[in-house]
Amino acid sequence: MKNRIIAIILTITLLVTLAIPVVAAGDGNWGDDNAPWNVGITNDKLLGNYELGTSKEFEIAYYPSDSVGLKAIRHIEITGDYPVSGFEYYENGKWNDVEQFTSKIVFKDTTKQKVHVTFNKEGKYTIKFWVSTADGNQSVVAKRVINVAKTSITLYREVETTPTVVPTTKDIEPVTTEPVTVAPTTKDETESEASTQAPTTKPIITEPVTIKPTTVVPTTKSVTTTAAQKVKVGKTAIKKAVKQKKAKKAKISLKKVKKVSGYQVQISTSAKFVKKLTITKNIKKTSCTIKALKAKKVYYVRARAYIVKGKKKYYGTWTVKKKVKFIK
């Protein structure tokens, strides 16, 4: 009877737990429970089988909680090792370019929205979907860091390894091996061994073998294997991006990030930053002027910070792309 009561209590607890949205450890699925709404990215449709270079459809979701009728601003982006293509969302009965996604919405009922994207190369990618208050003071984020392979998409898990240190000279004592002589086997032993082995065409004769003493020389230097460093790079933001309509240059101003080596800025006539339509510039300061542009053309800009350690450069995540503003 006692066991039955315990089983009923555990079952009720499990059902209550499943019914209440919680913060998924490390996934950022539900955002802040104190916010007036929650957002999510559906795992089951995003992960699993995938054919590289084809369209992958998944879902994002809005959970209004007690915020029905509240206005907010929504955003979505995908950053990663390589550019993606075909990034669109389904709304008003048609597929729309993700460039139009950032807009004001009014929370009604719980809503799920279809999104699709094409990954052209294997690598690590981050999908970020967030909703902020109209004044921008509060934001709730859902994020997925994924590994895209030729045949599947899986959640990305970073594994930190501990450096291994080989003992130094003090820790190792010289070891000398005593000579060992192997005597020939007797007739009885030969017959016994032959009964358990596959038959051979010639008899096996074992000669005495003497092993010479071997001395293990201790190492004179300590050898240390260091795990790959994990470098965190802060995210910058575009404070200002302006261009005179007829001019062929644009002025870009960024938010300063502490302890970084510089910034990488990209400006393009392509909202997807196609390589042949994009100018990339590395700068040390937080502002720059990019020349050789075309007059009266609409441009988009994005930026990221980077840190140089040794001969390697570590990049932060891209900012949300911003349309360059025309000025008089």
Report the 3 state secondary structure along 223-252.
CEECCCCCCCCCCCCEEEEEEECCCCCEEE
Mean pLDDT for 294-312 is: 92
163 Cβ contact list (under 8 Å, min separation 6)? 224, 225, 226, 227
Element (H, E) at 7: helix 2-19
- CATH classification (class only), 14-155: mainly beta
Residue 106 has a pLDDT of: 80
* Domain residue ranges in the chain: 14-155, 238-327
Is 275 in contact with 308 (CB distance < 8 Å)?
Answer: no
Mean pLDDT for 308-323 is: 92
> In sequence order, what are the beta bridge partners of 132?
73, 139
Element (H, E) at 148: strand 139-148
Element (H, E) at 302: strand 300-309
Mean pLDDT for 259-280 is: 94
Please indicate whether residue 262 or residue 213 has the higher confidence score (pLDDT): 262
Minimal CA–CA distance to 104: which of 129, 135, 138?
A: 135
Residue 35 has a pLDDT of: 58
Mean pLDDT for 123-140 is: 82
Asked if pLDDT for residue 196 goes beyond 90, the answer is no
Please indicate whether residue 130 or residue 293 has the higher confidence score (pLDDT): 293
Average pLDDT, the chain: 77
Residues above pLDDT 70, as percent of the chain: 64
- Virtual CA dihedral for 170, 174, 175, 176, nearest 10 degrees? -170
CA 172, CA 168: separation in Å to the nearest integer? 7
Q: Hey, CA dihedral for 313, 314, 318, 319, is it positive or negative?
A: negative
Asked if pLDDT for residue 295 goes beyond 70, the answer is yes
Mean pLDDT for 269-278 is: 92
Question: Where does the pLDDT of residue 311 fall: very low under 50, low under 70, confident under 90, or very high at 90 and above?
Answer: confident
Residue 65 has a pLDDT of: 61
DSSP SS3 for 112: strand
Q: What one-letter code names the amino acid at 92?
A: N
Mean pLDDT for 73-91 is: 93
Buried b (16+ CB within 10 A) or exposed e, 141-177: bbebbbebeeeebeeeeeeeeeeeeeeeeeeeeeeee
Most confident region among 62-66, 148-152, 208-212 by mean pLDDT: 148-152
Q: Does domain 238-327 have CATH number 2.60.40.10?
A: yes
Which tokens belong to 138? 């509060």
Asked whether this chain's domains 14-155 and 238-327 adopt the same fold, the reply is yes
Most confident region among 33-37, 208-212, 314-318 by mean pLDDT: 314-318
Most confident region among 10-19, 124-133, 136-145, 260-269 by mean pLDDT: 260-269
Residue 103 has a pLDDT of: 84
Residue 327 has a pLDDT of: 87
Which tokens belong to 9? 């209590």
Residue 188 has a pLDDT of: 47
